[in-house]
Structure 1
Amino acid sequence: MSFENLGLSPYISKAIAELGFLKPFEIQTETIPHILKGKDVMGIAKTGSGKTLCFVAPLLQKIQHQSYEKSRFIKALIIVPTRELAVQIEQTFVGLQKALRREVKTQAVFGGTSINPQMKNLYGTEILIATPGRLLDLMDHNALSLEQLNYLVIDEADKLFQLGFGDEMARILKAIPKKKQTVLFSATLNDKVDEIKTTLNIKPEIVEVKNTEVEIDSIEQIAYKVDAENKGPFLRYLIKSENLEQVLVFVSSTRTADNLVDKLKKNKISAMAIHSKKSQGARLDNLEDFKLGDVQVLVATDLIGRGIHIEGLPTVINYELPRSPLDYVHRIGRTGRANATGKAISLITEEDLHHFKIIQKKMGKKVELLSTDDVNLHGY
């Protein structure tokens, strides 16, 4: 099966291949033909399954053939829960633009940065990727209009409504025309998503890809029993002794993230932190440096980690365990994405043992716990 077989043009299919996607993943195979035909679609698939391309490629193929006149009217709206996800989706659009007959102006807007540059650049935008709060700000400033919207995409719909965006989403949906094509993507099919379907008055084609176990099985999971005071030295030992060149480290607080980065730098390991107290510009710069390999270690909190996607990320380390088993699966899912292999390492203290057992039980997979008693941490 090729992308052309799904109905995408040879030019867009070639551009997709140049992005590193040689053949469609299951969610793409099942949804792209429906979207190209103008049907409402709900795709249920976990993060990292290739869903972004499901709507980016069809939207570009459709809109490039439509007439273009500079205005405030948006043709396609993509609503996302986080700034990082908005930027990543915009990058996918940019990656396929060269395959088009004409440029389709695309822009990502989000909070945490000045609204003025976003307002100035909005005029003439055809495809808008937005977080709910910033979208409403721009609507209140009359910087855009949704009256002529033809396409609505709600990405990570379950998170949008779990993270407290309910009132904002209700305002946005009221401003959207009833006649449009709607595409929803969600990791789960929960009651809130059902509410969205009712609110939008749609009966979408539902495509569910159940591949969580397979993707977890593609990740090598290892855990080390470590004394609390030796966590930092053991992390540095792991990075240096195993020559880990690109490592995403998860922690539970911004304070821990900053402290950990300071210690890593003092031990000549290039590291940066990415968390909610960093400016949006700093977060994007740090993430880009990490993706390019200019930074060896990126330390992240869970909220920011939700939007991180790095192709072929080899290693994730849980310096501290998350509160929920679902967050644990989400963390380790940053590696081993889209059929690639990866390694997830967890540092477990005596206090963590009971919680780690619960995580393993909920995940349905046992993780070997290795002793570190014989490891010489002198000099780390």
Structure 2
Amino acid sequence: MTFSSLGLSPSILEAIQKAQYESPYPIQLAAIPPILQRKDVLGIAPTGSGKTAAYVLPILQQLQSKPTNQSREITVLVLVPTRELAAQVEETVKMFSQHLPRKVKCAAVFGGVSINPQMIHLHGTDLLVATPGRLLDLVSKNAIQLDKLKILVLDEADKVLNLGFKLEVDEILSRLPKKRQNILFSATMEAEVEDLIAQTLHQPIKIEVNQDPIAPELIAQTAYLVAKEKKGPLLRHLIEKGDWQQVLVFTSSIRAADNLATKLNKNGIQATAFHGDKSQGARTDALTKFKAGHIRVLVATDLAARGIDIKFLPHVVNFELPRSPKDYVHRIGRTGRAGSEGEAVSLITPEDQHHFKVIQKKMGRWVEMVDAQNLGF
């Protein structure tokens, strides 16, 4: 099936096409139609299953019929456990909404940073992505209003509860209007999650997606154990010594992608960043130049890189590891296509070692680890 079979509007389908999404994941096939029908949805799905787009796309379509927000009344609230996930959801929303006729204002708020810039930026926000504690801080300061909320999304609900946010979630739920659409995603069905489901959802459509078995193609994989501050010099050493002319490098955030591309250029290696904050024109231009060999290194985030399909890409580098084993397999699968040989390299700090062992175990394949100190760069 295709996205066009799910009831999405022409403008959303055009946004999907411009974002270079090819075909829907199982969770998207199952979740998009009932969310469009404004039904409550319960999704049991692992990290990396494509659930973010599964709720973002139909919600963006719903917002297209609403007038532009001129107040501090939030229409859609996405509650997440971590700032990393908040940034990921915000990036997804921005990537799709930049192509829509009715612009959607999205903001991500979380603790650990100054609250004042967030308060200033919130006026006119349609869709707010928030961690529980910072959300309540903003509510207490009257920076946002939740009494007219139309859609609530609880993403990674099990992790929200595991991190000790139950009291905050209860407080947030008590402030919301009773009549609203509820969407809840969780990787597990623990007792606390079941209680939250009973408290939140009304006759939900239940969707369960199992993690696909991880079976990467036979790609030459190497990992380098390296101190965090030595990652940049090591990457430059590998590119220059190996005479790599076409390299796709993955980072975990937009900021990291921009910073790495800047440093590579300063050291004489032509590079450009490729992520959801770039305009469609800029992304298309960067990809065209990269495929043609006019740009040596493309530094990408996972979300933007989903649409990258280069038949004879020789090198992929995990400058930073992804959150899930499935994302790792998707990354390295950008190389070794169409019967061509490919090489995937991962830069592993001591702090990354445990997570990398988990990835290898899920993948069912162990990767040779080289101590970067022995390379003499």
Task: Give how far 1:182 is off.
Answer: 0.9
What TM-score do the two structures reach when normalised by structure 2? 0.68
- Indicate the SS of the match to 2:48: coil
Task: Give how far 1:376 is off.
Answer: 7.8
Asked whether 1:217 is paired with 2:219, we answer no
Distance 1:207 1:315, change over 3 A: farther
- Indicate the SS of the match to 2:330: coil
Q: Which residue of 2 aligns with 1:315?
A: 317
Tell me the matched-pair count. Answer: 330
Inter-partner Cα distance in structure 2 for 1:66 and 1:118: 24
Asked whether 1:365 is paired with 2:359, we answer no
Task: Give how far 1:119 is off.
Answer: 1.8
Inter-partner Cα distance in structure 1 for 2:94 and 2:348: 41
Asked whether 1:336 is paired with 2:336, we answer no
Task: Give how far 1:16 is off.
Answer: 0.9
Asked whether 1:86 is paired with 2:80, we answer no
Superposed CA offset, 1:112-140 (max 9, x none): 33322322332332221112222111101
Letter in 2 for 1:45: A
Superposed CA offset, 1:184-233 (max 9, x none): 2233343443232022143422222223423x5358473569899xx989
Inter-partner Cα distance in structure 1 for 2:276 and 2:298: 10
Superposed CA offset, 1:317-355 (max 9, x none): 68xxxxxxxxx9845444333995467656899x99x98
Inter-partner Cα distance in structure 2 for 1:365 and 1:91: 31
Asked if the contact 2:77–2:130 (Cα under 8 Å) also holds between the matched residues in 1, the reply is yes
Percent identity of equivalent pairs: 38
Letter in 1 for 2:16: I
Letter in 1 for 2:25: F
Distance 1:218 1:188, change over 3 A: farther
Asked if the contact 1:223–1:348 (Cα under 8 Å) also holds between the matched residues in 2, the reply is no
- Stretches of structure 1 that go unaligned for 5 or more consecutive residues are 251-260, 271-285, 299-306, 319-327
Superposed CA offset, 1:52-80 (max 9, x none): 22112211211221345633321110112
Q: Which residue of 2 aligns with 1:51?
A: 51
Inter-partner Cα distance in structure 1 for 2:218 and 2:167: 38
Task: Give how far 1:110 is off.
Answer: 2.2
Q: Which residue of 1 aligns with 2:199?
A: 199
Q: Which residue of 2 aligns with 1:122?
A: 122
Task: Give how far 1:180 is off.
Answer: 1.4
- Indicate the SS of the match to 1:213: coil
Letter in 2 for 1:39: K
Task: Give how far 1:152 is off.
Answer: 0.5
What TM-score do the two structures reach when normalised by structure 1? 0.68
Matches within 5 A, 1:5-84: 5-68=5-68, 70-84=70-84
- Indicate the SS of the match to 1:56: helix
Matches within 5 A, 1:139-154: 139-154=139-154
Distance 1:47 1:121, change over 3 A: same
- Stretches of structure 2 that go unaligned for 5 or more consecutive residues are 253-259, 270-274, 309-315, 336-342
Distance 1:362 1:219, change over 3 A: same
Inter-partner Cα distance in structure 1 for 2:26 and 2:100: 25
Asked if the contact 2:109–2:129 (Cα under 8 Å) also holds between the matched residues in 1, the reply is yes
Letter in 1 for 2:183: V
Q: Which residue of 1 aligns with 2:339?
A: none
Letter in 1 for 2:7: G
Q: Which residue of 2 aligns with 1:281?
A: none
Asked if the contact 2:95–2:277 (Cα under 8 Å) also holds between the matched residues in 1, the reply is no
- Indicate the SS of the match to 1:177: coil
Task: Give how far 1:171 is off.
Answer: 1.8
Task: Give how far 1:153 is off.
Answer: 0.8
- Indicate the SS of the match to 2:152: strand
Asked if the contact 2:27–2:54 (Cα under 8 Å) also holds between the matched residues in 1, the reply is yes
